[in-house]
């Protein structure tokens, strides 16, 4: 018996929102002296921002950071790789970097411990 592609049901894993600690302190970064309207933009999603914060700022290993965001380690690896490429593109090519959107669940705090302490 052969199964054709039309007979196979696609069963994908349900998508879950990535958990992030909070929004960034600023949502746009750009080269100095050039108006943002004259720049190309690179958009980093909020989950990519969170991955950079956890791995690069907080120094977490990927398995720890993945657990914090409630994603698999492989998914975290893809998120952080995408984030690093986007940030590098913006820096190397002098583009504006905008942080927004993405499939996230926000815990309601700010972006990091420093801003949490300043808020109190």
pLDDT tens track for 27-71: 999 999 999 999 999 999 999 999 999 999 999 999 999 999 999
- Residue 4, pLDDT > 60, answer no
C-alpha to C-alpha distance for 99 and 83, rounded to whole angstroms: 10
pLDDT tens track for 11-31: 666 667 888 888 898 999 999
Q: Each residue of 44-69: b (16+ CB within 10 Å) or e?
A: bbbbbbbbbbbbeeeebebeebbbbb
Task: Please state the pTM of the whole predicted model.
Answer: 0.78
Return the SS3 of 55. helix
């Amino acid at each position: 018996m052969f199964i054709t592609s039309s007979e196979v049901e696609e069963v994908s894993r349900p998508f879950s929102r990535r958990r992030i600690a909070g929004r960034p302190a600023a949502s746009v970064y750009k080269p100095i002296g050039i108006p943002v309207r004259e720049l190309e933009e690179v958009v980093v999603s909020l989950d990519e921002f969170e991955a950079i914060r956890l791995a690069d700022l907080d120094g977490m290993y990927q398995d720890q950071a993945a657990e914090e965001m409630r994603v698999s380690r492989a998914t975290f690896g893809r998120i952080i790789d995408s984030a690093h490429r986007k940030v590098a593109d913006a820096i190397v090519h002098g583009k504006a970097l905008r942080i927004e959107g993405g499939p996230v669940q926000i815990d309601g705090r700010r972006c990091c411990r420093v801003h949490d302490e300043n808020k109190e």
